[in-house]
């Protein structure tokens, strides 16, 4: 059959360490290259914006943007989830 068996599934993330400026205007781009479905889960931080939350198995470009930060450095984690594969975590920090 043409079904992809789970050992052949792959999700590759081009950048797992994102650093954002305090001004908040700049987006950081990551690419997620996969042959399977995935979903982004974030810890619901209200200062972080992700422009794409799911995909169906090609190359997806995800832009991560933060609102301006007037306080201390803050950080967040977002996870790329697929039922068959280990969770992958992207760490985001903002000055």
Predicted structure pTM score: 0.83
**Residue 59 β-bridge partners:** 33
- Per-position DSSP letters for 22-77, written without gaps between them: TT---EEEEEEEESSEEEEEE---TTEEES--EEESSEEEEEEEE----SS-EEEE
**Residue 80 β-bridge partners:** 40, 88
- The span from the CA of 3 to the CA of 22, in Å, is 46
Predicted confidence pLDDT, tens digits, the chain (95 residues): 456 666 789 999 999 999 999 998 889 999 999 999 999 998 867 899 999 878 888 899 999 999 999 999 999 999 999 999 999 999 999 99
């Amino acid at each position: 059959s043409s079904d992809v068996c789970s050992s052949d599934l792959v999700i590759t993330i081009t950048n797992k360490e994102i650093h954002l400026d305090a001004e908040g205007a700049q987006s950081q781009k990551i690419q997620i290259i996969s042959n399977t479905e995935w979903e982004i889960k974030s810890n619901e931080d209200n200062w972080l914006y992700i422009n794409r939350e799911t995909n169906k198995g090609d190359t997806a470009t995800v832009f991560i943007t933060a609102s301006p930060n007037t306080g201390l450095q803050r950080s967040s984690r977002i996870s790329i989830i697929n039922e068959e594969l280990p969770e992958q975590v992207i760490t985001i920090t903002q000055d």
